[in-house]
Amino acid sequence: MNAPITPPLSAERAQGIAQTLDLRALPRDFLDNPYPVYAALRESAPFKRMPDGSYFLTRHADLVAVYRDAKVFSSDKQVEFGPKYNRAPFNQPPFATANGVSPLFEHHTSSLVFNDPPLHTRVRRLIMGALTRRAIEAMEPGLVQLVDSLLDNMEAQGGGDLIEDFASAIPVEIIGNLLDVPHAERAPLRGWSLAILGALEPSLTPEQEALGHRSVNEFLAYLRELVAKRRQHPGDPEHDVLTRLIQGEKDGESGGDALSEVELLHNCVFLLNAGHETTTNLIGNALISLQEWPEQREQLKADLQAAASAEEREQIMGLAVDEFLRFESSNQLGNRRALQATQVNGVDLPVGALVTLCIGAANRDPAVYDNPEQLNLRRTGNKHLAFGFGVHQCAGLSLARLEGRIAIGRFLQRFPNYQLTQAPQRGGRARFRGFLHAPFSIR
């Protein structure tokens, strides 16, 4: 493999893209390597006014200010997603939901991440009740067993695909376990997830949009059967998130009510999507970054080998995982809407302003990080925003970190000299940064 994994982008080209940036018409070289464009925007236009009238923010301090002010900056997407998704023919039979709206509109306006309190508070509390520190620690032996079985299969074949055979297989199994989805029924989950999350991209082809709507409907049809079975035979709500969501909060426990059927189903879809795509990208991006930064790979291998205890190895991998998350953030973009006229670090924003939070740019802000364009797996004090910040910070961040530590650490331990055999294929997305394929050899 001779071609660079991340093609260089000249300063002149980056400035040109930055000046005319339009998320609905992004050039291929930006999708391959957006970071020089982000650097140009941080320097010259940190509150970039976009062609559609929205604002594109790239500085770490500005993103934190927006994240902190959840009362002013709403996560609700009904205003934004109505024109995007709720259009004919997808708000009509056979696509339309029972509520008379399109599947993607109903999903992306019902799930945890695109809602404000009180729905956000209720659902997050239910999910967090099943993702306690004790519950996550209890998952580790099963996760190690899963990872080792995948490594065994790849070793027997002399290699494989970092994404298909490893990175994507881990979160599907973990989230499948959390929802107690039967193993024989997990095959369609990744395809549904890719299609539904892919529909969040700023620009869609008619084929991508149709696939997204169809995937929501197919996923909901499957979940209705799964929920019906779980109502008849509940699991342990301390570990089975689906049972916990069905049963709702206990009487007197913050006065919460059970979720409606629509809320329940769409937050199950959200759980798979959120846990799958971001963790797949974390693992895949990390292992491919180690190919681009061989001195960091050798340093990490040496540090792990010199570690005197399991606790020390966990600490080493913890720092590495957070640096991978900073350096190649799985989720590059977030969005908010201003409910009133406001200021962010001295910049005026009008009521109704749509704001895109560029996590990938903030995580390489030189005002916060020394040598931000360098991968440094010993970096400490890493205040990255890969999991968001504030009330909407990712509910599954501890689980994602555990998956990253175990998967990346054990892969590197088993295959210390792995090499890519072909240039990896990127997903071609602006919001979710990752790869679709990455063939490799263990020797």
Residue 256: band (very low, low, confident or very high) from pLDDT cuts 50, 70, 90: low
Q: What integer is the mean pLDDT of 269-279? A: 87
Q: How many CA atoms lie within 13 A of 338 on its CB side?
A: 19
The span from the CA of 172 to the CA of 184, in Å, is 12
- CATH code for the domain of 423: 1.10.630.10
Q: Tell me: the pLDDT tens digits for 347-388?
A: 999 999 999 999 999 999 999 999 999 999 999 999 999 999
| Residue 162 belongs to domain spanning | 11-441
- Which residues, at least 6 apart from 59, have a Cβ–Cβ distance to it below 8 Å? 42, 46, 345, 361, 362, 365, 367
Residue 1: the pLDDT is 56
Residue 402 lies in a domain: yes
Query: What pLDDT is stored for residue 249 in this prediction?
Result: 54
Query: Per-residue pLDDT averaged across 94-117, rounded?
Result: 90
Amino acid sitting at position 425: Q
One-letter amino acid for residue 386 of the chain: A
Question: Is the model more confident about 419 or about 122?
Answer: 419
Q: Check whether 106 has a pLDDT greater than 70.
A: yes
DSSP 186-224: -TTHHHHHHHHHHTTSSS--HHHHHHHHHHHHHHHHHHH
Question: Residue 252 above 50 pLDDT?
Answer: no
Assess contact for 61 and 240: CB atoms under 8 A.
no
Which residues, at least 6 apart from 3, have a Cβ–Cβ distance to it below 8 Å? 423
333 pLDDT more than 80: yes
Percent of the chain whose predicted confidence (pLDDT) is above 90: 76
Q: Within a domain: residue 273?
A: yes
Residue 109 in this model has a pLDDT that exceeds 60? yes
In the predicted structure, residue 257 carries a pLDDT above the cut 50: yes
Predicted pLDDT of residue 251: 42
**1 part of a folded domain:** no
DSSP string, 73-139: EE---HHHHHHHHS-TTTTSTTT--TTSS-HHHHHHTTSGGG--TTHHHHHHHHHHHTS-HHHHHHH
Cα–Cα distances (Å) from 27 to 17, 33, 44, 361, in that order, read: 8, 10, 20, 17
Q: Would you state the pLDDT for residue 129?
A: 80
**pLDDT range class, residue 255, cuts 50, 70, 90:** very low
Domain membership of residue 201 (yes or no) is yes
pLDDT, residue 188, reads 93
Whether 202 shows a pLDDT value over 70: the answer reads yes
Q: What pLDDT is stored for residue 135 in this prediction?
A: 86
What does the pLDDT look like over 16-53, one tens digit per residue?
Answer: 999 999 999 999 999 999 999 999 999 999 999 999 99
**Mean pLDDT score of the chain:** 93
Indicate whether 3 belongs to any domain: no
Distance between CA atoms of 202 and 54, rounded to whole angstroms? 12
pLDDT confidence tier of residue 156, bands split at 50, 70 and 90: very high
Q: Does residue 414 form part of some domain?
A: yes
The residue-averaged pLDDT of 100-121 equals: 90
What's the pLDDT tens digit per position in 139-153? 999 999 999 999 999
Distance CA 305, CA 12 (A): 43
Residue 241 has a CB neighbour count (10 Å cut-off) of 23
Domain membership of residue 65 (yes or no) is: yes
Between vectors from CA 30 to CA 161 and to CA 270, what angle results, nearest 5°?
60
- Report how many domains make up the chain: 1
Q: How far is CA 413 from CA 116, 125, 302, in A?
A: 43, 37, 11
Q: Is residue 55 situated within a structural domain?
A: yes
Looking at residue 399, its pLDDT comes to: 93
